[in-house]
Structure 1
Amino acid sequence: MPETIRKCTPADAEAIAALIGKLSHYFVADAAAASVQPFLATFRPPAIAELLAKPEFVSLAAEEDGRLVGVITLHRPAHLHHLFVSPDTHRRGIARSLWRAIQAEFPVPATVTVNSSEFAVPVYQRLGFVATAEVQERNGVRYVPMCRTPDLAGANE
């Protein structure tokens, strides 16, 4: 469990970009491929700062010892846009803490979607999400479309 969970601000963009950069190998097959460059550009600090300033996106950061160790972003009303946890803090409940915190902080509908990396599918399953299709690939990014519905909302809490 993280020491602190707080709202993100555009000033967090550098730390969020660094965190996501450590994890990009989980969802991008070839980071040098031209087809994936527009997607990777969305994880650069200016793009993240811009996203954090938009009212349709709400984000929370998890911190330990003053260091950002996780981030969650909900694209309102019902799409989980980001959920990243630092590799050195995996399997400590940070993703679950962020998920619960965003549900408590903002109105989150019962049905929520996410495009999960293959690596993160088990994490989302533990949060009550189920795959809605097979692995997809678009512009060099592999993902599994998933959904959390009202009948599953309490299944894995």
Structure 2
Amino acid sequence: MPTTTLRAATPADLDAITDIHTLARTAYYQAGGLLDPDLTSAGSRARRREAWARVLGSADGTVLCAVREGEVAGVVSMGPPADPDLDPTTAGQLYQIHVRPGSWGAGIGSRLHEGFVRLLRERSLSTGVLEAWERNTRARTFYARHGWRPDGHSRPGPCDAEYLRLRLELGA
């Protein structure tokens, strides 16, 4: 069985990260009923690429790549919480986690999640937060399996479905 290693993302990973994000995002939004052609448009991909370039060049966050058989198979980005009601001295936010759809179920997402939790602990943060689209049942099931629970906060999302905020409390 192939092993999955985690490493810090570099600018050389930009296209692989953008492709994985595009494929994963398209898969989960389409599965949830969003059939917007802009999901896969060249302009949409270019905007995602620009956003990832900014993230990779920022000191505020951390991006890790999951590498399997020499190829980037997944990505996780994390940093301070985006919502003002969360204390950045105790909480870190998992902004995005994406795995190439053909590799779903191979443990790559769990390795990325482990990397996020490890960084929370290294930074002495006791809480993780993230947002998941309520129609992305695959992601919500994954996070529940890893101990995440809804914390009661949400915001509007596409297709009259909410983005739910989930919370992970780390034990001592």
TM-score range, shorter chain: 0.7 to 0.9
Query: Greater CA deviation, 68-77 or 96-105?
Result: 96-105
- Aligned mates of 1:73, 1:9 — CA distance in 2: 12
Q: Does 1:114 align with 2:133?
A: no
Preserved CA contact (<8 Å) 1:20 1:84 = yes
Q: Look up the match of 1:21.
A: 22
Tell me which stretches of 4 or more aligned residues in structure 1 moved more than 6 Å. none
Q: Look up the match of 2:83.
A: none
Q: Does 1:103 align with 2:107?
A: no
- Aligned mates of 1:142, 1:69 — CA distance in 2: 28
Kindly report which structure 2 residues correspond to 1:64-103, keeping only aligned pairs within 5 A, or say none: 64-76=68-80, 77=88, 78-103=92-117
Q: Look up the match of 2:147.
A: 128
Task: Name the aligned partner's letter for residue 83 of structure 1.
Answer: I
- Aligned CA distance change for structure 1 residues 86 and 145 (closer, same or farther; 3 Å): same
Percentage of pairs with the same residue? 21
Tell me the TM-score normalised to structure 2 length.
Answer: 0.71
Kindly report which structure 2 residues correspond to 1:51-66, keeping only aligned pairs within 5 A, or say none: 51-66=55-70
Higher gyration radius (CA) = 2
Preserved CA contact (<8 Å) 2:22 2:45 = no
Q: Does 1:148 align with 2:148?
A: no
Preserved CA contact (<8 Å) 2:14 2:52 = yes
Deviation at residue 95 of structure 1 after TM alignment? 1.4
- Aligned CA distance change for structure 1 residues 134 and 107 (closer, same or farther; 3 Å): closer
Tell me the TM-score normalised to structure 1 length.
Answer: 0.77
3-state SS of the aligned residue for 2:95?
A: strand
- Aligned mates of 2:154, 2:67 — CA distance in 1: 32
Deviation at residue 142 of structure 1 after TM alignment? 4.8
| Aligned-residue RMSD, C-alpha | 3.0
Residue segments in structure 1 that go unaligned for 5+ positions in a row: none
- Aligned CA distance change for structure 1 residues 123 and 46 (closer, same or farther; 3 Å): same
Query: Matched residue pairs, number?
Result: 148
